[in-house]
């Protein structure tokens, strides 16, 4: 299942279907720890702590995800992208123990989006990360839907503060669904009634018998 998760994320990335998605833009601005395997000639300006024209081999910088991806996913990668702290073994173990108690918003408001993009990079922990993302989502999904449906008329701000952006969207969708269901239950004008054609047909049959 985790292999399919990796494949799906790579396919989505190649299509570029989220190019104009503001959430995707914000997610790809998250900083990634990177180490340069090649000298980056003329790119010294990306290191605000240095006045050098070039970035030397071995330099370690935090780069936005969109730039790290451009430098790492190529025939001769310039950088090796390391996993941010929130996606490393320690936090993966915490999520595996009890994902529902973790403040994902604090780890990163775009936890799942960034995690999916990290699966594009070649690293030893890709399968483990894929499995953690999937299991975390599945373990938290039921609780999110329960909250959305059972706390419909309550202040939900404290319930959503620990959710990442995707989870907040799901919570809002669940609340919207409940709101629409309540409206439907109260409706009287949309009760099912026989169509005019059916009524006329029965009337004709009754007239013929008479």
Q: Is the pLDDT of residue 92 over 70?
A: yes
Summarize pLDDT for 157-180 with one digit per residue, the tens: 777 899 999 999 999 888 888 888
**The predicted structure's pLDDT at residue 199:** 61
Q: What is the mean pLDDT of the chain?
A: 82
**Residue 34 contacts by C-beta under 8 Å, 6 or more apart in sequence?**
60, 61, 62, 63, 68, 71, 72, 79, 80, 81, 82
**Residue 44 contacts by C-beta under 8 Å, 6 or more apart in sequence?**
50, 51, 52, 53, 54, 55
Which residue is listed with tokens 């409206």? 183
**The predicted structure's pLDDT at residue 168:** 92
> Would you list the DSSP string of 143-203?
HHHHHHHHSTTS--HHHHTT--HHHHHHHHHHHHHHHHHHHHHH-STT-----HHHHHHHH
Percentage of the chain modeled with pLDDT above 70:
77
For residues 47-70, average pLDDT: 90
User: Which domains does the chain possess?
Assistant: 84-191 (1.20.58.2050)
**The predicted structure's pLDDT at residue 149:** 81
For residues 90-115, average pLDDT: 93
For residues 111-133, average pLDDT: 91
């Amino acid at each position: 299942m985790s292999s399919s998760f990796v494949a799906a994320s790579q396919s989505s990335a190649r299509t570029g279907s989220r190019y104009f998605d503001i959430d995707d833009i914000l997610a790809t601005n998250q900083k990634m720890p990177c180490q340069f395997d090649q000298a980056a000639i003329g790119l010294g300006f990306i290191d605000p702590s240095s006045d050098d024209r070039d970035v030397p081999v071995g330099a370690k910088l935090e780069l936005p995800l969109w730039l790290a991806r451009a430098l790492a996913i190529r025939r001769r990668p310039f950088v090796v992208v390391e996993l941010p702290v929130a996606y490393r073994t320690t936090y993966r173990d915490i999520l595996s123990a009890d994902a529902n108690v973790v403040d994902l918003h604090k780890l990163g408001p775009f936890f799942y989006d960034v995690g999916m993009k990290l699966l594009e990079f070649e690293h030893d922990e890709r399968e483990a990360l894929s499995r953690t993302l999937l299991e975390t989502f599945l373990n938290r999904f039921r609780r999110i839907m329960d909250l959305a449906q059972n706390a419909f008329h309550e202040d939900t701000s404290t319930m959503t503060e620990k959710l990442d952006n995707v989870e907040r969207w799901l919570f809002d969708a669940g609340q919207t669904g409940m709101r629409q269901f309540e409206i439907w239950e109260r409706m009287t004008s949309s009760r099912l009634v026989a169509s005019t054609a059916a009524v006329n047909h029965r009337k004709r049959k009754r007239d013929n018998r008479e």
